[in-house]
Structure 1
Amino acid sequence: MASHRRPKQPSRTRVTVLTTAAAAAVVLSANAANAAPSEKPNVDEVKSKVDKLYEQAEQATEKYNGAKEKQEKLQKEIDTLQDNVARGQSDLNDLRDGLGSMATAQYRTGGIDPSVQLFLSADPDDYLDKASTMDQLSNQQVETLKKVQEKQRSLAQQRSEASEKLEDLADTRTELAKKKTEVQGKLADAQKLLNSLTAAEKAALDAKQAQASTTAKTAATSGSTAPASGRAGSAYGAAQSVIGSPYVYGASGPSSFDCSGLTSWAYAQAGVSIPRTSQAQANAGTRIYSQSDLQVGDLVIFYGDMHHVGFYAGNGQVLHAPRSGTVVRYESINNMPFQFGVRI
């Protein structure tokens, strides 16, 4: 006879879990359907974020410039040391060769007692002359030994110094690569934000910046501020000659510039050498703390960490290389936090 059994009922716990999961899925779906779409940042918000990224990129750029300048200086010092070591080693070899020749000569004549050599000599006067020469050679040998020792110490010191500078150079190159990556990352982030704008929004933003630059140029060139003179005037004139040149981080002319690249290049055209970075340029001359005392051609330092520099253009305007995506142009001095001027 067949066994009749009641079908197994589902576990009450399992039913409860399934019901709870289903309910949660329904709630999540409803929330997703009712959630407002993420709002796209407006032009002003994008500009604010982009400006901040460009500022951070420029901070890294000036550190990059400092590391690059240090690298070039170290490389020159290392090259000089290595050249000196090579020449010193050649001199040392010559001294050793000379010392060897003297030793050989002494060995050849040192096997017979000097009195016997005099007795056997066919020409006593000639022998006495040679004996006198041997005494001189002995004294010369002592002096040569001293020179050898001095040269060895000098070479050891120079090799040690070169080795230390090579280690410093390796660290500097690592720092240089790090700052380059940091700059590139900030610029890529800024470009990504800019790409989120429509063509019309980009055009409107560019037009606004162009108008501001035109207004600044008009104020700088038609005001009452006396024109620059002397070497500052020559440097300022050089900067004016490259208006419109693109900003490129790490560039110092003649066709592209970053902020301190422009100022150092312009002063070089005037025959004046100033440091490469904005921080170093801040200490290159006499500081002017009042904007009212600035003269055309003075350097103008911005931000608390002094990571930006330009030329004072008169009437509250500056001529500078602002940031990536722009060109050498005029702007209001009030666009950035003014620190002080520097008169070279």
Structure 2
Amino acid sequence: MPVHRRPPLPGVQRLARALALTAAATGVIHLGVAPAAATPADPPDRADVKAQVDQLYDEAEQASEKYNAAQEQQKRLQREAGILLTQVAAGQDDLNRLRADLGAVVAAQYRAQGLDPTLRLMLDNDPASYLAGARSLGQATARQNETLRDLRERQRRLDQRRQETAAKLDELEQARHRLAAAKDEVRTRLARARQLLGDLTAAERDRLAYDDDARAARGADRFDLGNEPPASDRAAAALNAAVSKIGSSYVYGSTGPSTFDCSGLMYWAWRQAGVTLPRTSQGQASAGRRVSLAEARPGDLVIFFKDRHHVGMYAGGGVVVHAPHPGARVRYESVSAMPVNSVVRV
């Protein structure tokens, strides 16, 4: 995650020079004089490129959390759609059996009632037996009517389940589109960042990589984490797990055990403590009780930015451990490096 206080907006100086050249060229054209030959482009400034790359990494991380959310929604919808499809299949089987039973009863009644009831009574050798059978037939008819009502109710419920399934499958398809769009957005930002870094010399790229790796390597020796105890034994276990991954690479959509995105690191660390958090930073913002930053204890989740697209774990002394952004490694960082949205005690 890039530091919130960034250098001036990327490319401002070059944009100003370009506007000035454009204005000058326009003036020459109006005077009827041939424009001067274009000057070769200035080599990219390392600080300027870093600011642009940091911005792209920040945008890629926002897209990464969208990707995580879409992926979780897709998994949930797949489970729900599977349950509905199973219910529809079972309901159809029950309906088919009920229809078959009802059909058999109707056929038997049709065969039994082939003669006029009065004529059957006159021809029957045992009228009392016939009347008893007629009463039984009436009871069977009442049961048949009840079965028919049950059949209609089951058909209604089955139709409703089918509609719910169709809606769920449509929602699942939309989630797949959102997942693909978020993935494309991440890849686009990262490709642009790689292109900008490619404009630098090899020495400048190495310097940027060294600076970031050095930040990842610096830990408790750079920061005073204090001696405040964690909020709970589980918080202590989660913090130990997160700290053990310092130096691991950021990979979007990853939950470990060797690579992580920001929420993936929190998810994995708390799993080691026996707690399953929501998968995204936005979900993790509602995973516990809110406390103020002044009350933060080691193991608490610290949610950053207005849209809550980044999360780290409070380590003490105003420091968090987090997976910053694509191209960076898990590291300690001052909590003031980014705007804090909220602090959550799990």
Structure 2 length normalisation: TM-score? 0.83
Where 1:217 maps in the other structure, the secondary structure is coil
User: Alpha-carbon deviation of 1:234?
Assistant: 2.7
- Letter of the structure 2 residue corresponding to residue 312 of structure 1: Y
Pick aligned residue for 1:201 from 177, 192, 204: 204
The 1:126/1:237 distance shift into structure 2, 3 A limit, reads farther
Where 1:249 maps in the other structure, the secondary structure is coil
Kept after mapping to 2: 8 A contact 1:216/1:317: no
- Letter of the structure 2 residue corresponding to residue 315 of structure 1: G
Kept after mapping to 1: 8 A contact 2:213/2:328: no
Tell me the residue number matched to 1:293. Answer: 295
Q: In 2, distance between residues paired with 1:298 and 1:108? A: 77
Where 2:248 maps in the other structure, the secondary structure is coil
Pick aligned residue for 2:113 from 94, 110, 116: 110
Pick aligned residue for 1:147 from 150, 155, 161: 150
Q: In 1, distance between residues paired with 2:219 and 2:228? A: 14
Instruction: Show CA shifts across 1:124-173 (max 9, x none).
Output: 67656644442332122111111111111101111111112222222222
Q: Does 122-131 or 38-47 show the bigger shift?
A: 122-131
User: What RMSD over aligned residues (CA atoms) do the two structures have, in Å?
Assistant: 2.6
Q: Does 206-215 or 323-332 show the bigger shift?
A: 206-215
Q: In 2, distance between residues paired with 1:256 and 1:134? A: 74
User: Alpha-carbon deviation of 1:191?
Assistant: 0.9
Q: In 2, distance between residues paired with 1:222 and 1:282? A: 23
Where 1:310 maps in the other structure, the secondary structure is strand
- Letter of the structure 1 residue corresponding to residue 304 of structure 2: F
Structure 2 gaps, min length 5: 1-28
The 1:122/1:255 distance shift into structure 2, 3 A limit, reads farther
- Letter of the structure 1 residue corresponding to residue 331 of structure 2: R
Q: In 2, distance between residues paired with 1:180 and 1:194? A: 21
1:101 matches 2:101: no
Kept after mapping to 2: 8 A contact 1:65/1:277: yes
Q: Does 272-281 or 93-102 show the bigger shift?
A: 272-281
Where 2:260 maps in the other structure, the secondary structure is coil
1:244 matches 2:251: no
Q: In 1, distance between residues paired with 2:162 and 2:113? A: 39
Tell me the residue number matched to 2:270. Answer: 267
Tell me the residue number matched to 1:232. Answer: 235
Pick aligned residue for 1:323 from 325, 331, 334: 325
Tell me the residue number matched to 2:41. Answer: 38
Pick aligned residue for 2:176 from 173, 177, 180: 173
Where 1:187 maps in the other structure, the secondary structure is helix
Tell me the residue number matched to 1:336. Answer: 338
Structure 1 gaps, min length 5: 1-20
Structure 1 length normalisation: TM-score? 0.83
Pick aligned residue for 1:257 from 257, 260, 263: 260
Q: Report the structure number with the largest CA radius of gyration.
A: 1
> Aligned pairs, how many?
317
Kept after mapping to 2: 8 A contact 1:216/1:332: no
Highest relative contact order (Cα 8 Å, sep 6+), 1 or 2? Answer: 2
Pick aligned residue for 2:159 from 150, 156, 159: 156
Instruction: Show CA shifts across 1:201-257 (max 9, x none).
Output: 222222322333333333568632324533222322332343333211122233322
- Letter of the structure 2 residue corresponding to residue 80 of structure 1: I
User: Alpha-carbon deviation of 1:74?
Assistant: 1.5
The 1:304/1:310 distance shift into structure 2, 3 A limit, reads same
